[in-house]
Structures are given as C-alpha cells and as structure tokens.
Amino acid sequence: MEITPMPSFKKSPGGVSQSASAQDAVWNHDEVALLLIDYQKEMFDQIHSETGPQRIDLNIRFLIRVANALDIPVILSTVGVEMGVNGPTRSSIAAELPDTRVIDRSSMNAWEDTEFHEAILVTKKKRLIVCALYTEICLAFPVIEALKEGFEVMYVADAVGGRSQLAHATALQRLANAGAIPNTTLALSTELFRDWKSSQAERLRPILVWYLGELNGYSASA
C-alpha cells in the first residue's frame, strides 16, 4: 500500500504549559498514569475483535511516545513469563520502554498483584489510563477494582482487544456501566495537551505527524 506523506504542522509561538480544564472534566497530562497490561505475543495471537493486532500495536506505541514526551509515568505488566507460560512483552512495544521495569505476575487480575498495585500508588496519580489484552479479562478486572478503590479510570477502546467481538464489546459495556471513561487513541492524545500553543503541543507535534503517517499503512482490521 502506498503511504501518502503527511504535511508537517507549523510551529506555534507558544510554550506555556497546558492548564487543567475549568470543570476538571477533561483530563490533563500532569494528572495521569498509563497502565499497559499483557501486550504479549500469546495475547496478540488471539485478538479477534474490531481493531486488529497490528493497529493495536501501533496505537500502544503511539501512546507510549505520548507518555514519554509528557513525562507521564508508565507501568508495564506481563502475566506468566516467570512461570514459563507466556513470552515477554511484544518486542516492538518493549523497544519503546527500554528502561521500564516489567512487573510479571500470575494473577489474571493485575490489581491483585501487590507489586503492580504498589507501583500505581507510588505515582500518586488518581486518574489512570488503562490498556490491556484481553479486554474481557485483563482490562476489565483491574479497571473495576480501581474504580471501587476510588480511582478515576479511562480505557482506550482502539488500543485493546478481545478473543471475540462479542467478548470485547460486552467488556467495554461492563466497564462503561461501572463508571470507567471510554476514549480512543488519537482523541486521548489531544486531550492531554488541547492547545496548539502549549509547550506540550510542541513536544507532541512530531509524534502526531509520525502516527498519522503510519495510519495510512494500516486498515482497522490489520
């Protein structure tokens, strides 16, 4: 597939850090942590929901670059690696987080893992952005637990996937009914800076250009 070059954004004269929204309803870059759970080969191989594995991989890599540019803490977890059941984080994703400690666990519910839970508390962030494979298990369980513990939680619907479309859609409905906030990858990235004159926008422009260019090479089901 031919990839059409993306136009570059014009540099803005800005530089002031983006402030929080007046109603505190739209999330700001300095109040969140990004949780990435079980982006491993074994999970990618069994994704059969509307956003395909290659697009999910791209979306997660983009979110990591956004987080790194905005100094958002990232917590990375795997399941069953030390037990010899699963392999490590997919190499394309791990390459974006070379210095991040991976928290491996045995529980399907990451919230029940002491090391994972403590890592979240250390960030002192009460707003969590959570992405995981699969939607119906490793995303649903910790999100519901976090909500009960008083955290605000957002999930990124096109950066997660399930073993079937029905399982994926049912889990997303369960999360929304429980009070979690649905979002999508590109919308989330813009929510975290919002003003093209902000210093955050200056950092994100090249990342956005890269991502939008990459999207031309992917179909939603890829």
Catalytic residues: 138
Q: What is the pairing mode between strands 74-79 and 102-105? A: parallel
Q: Say if CB 79 and CB 86 are below 8 A apart.
A: yes
Looking at residue 124, its amino acid is K
CA-angle at 41, arms to 158 and 133, nearest 5°: 35
- Cα separation of 10 and 93, whole Å? 29
Q: Say if CB 188 and CB 160 are below 8 A apart.
A: no
**Structure-token pair, residue 176:** 């929304």
Residues sharing a CB contact under 8 Å with residue 129, sequence separation 6 or more, in sequence order: 32, 33, 34, 35, 63, 153, 154, 155, 156, 183, 188
Looking at residue 86, its amino acid is N
Q: DSSP 3-state assignment of 119?
A: helix
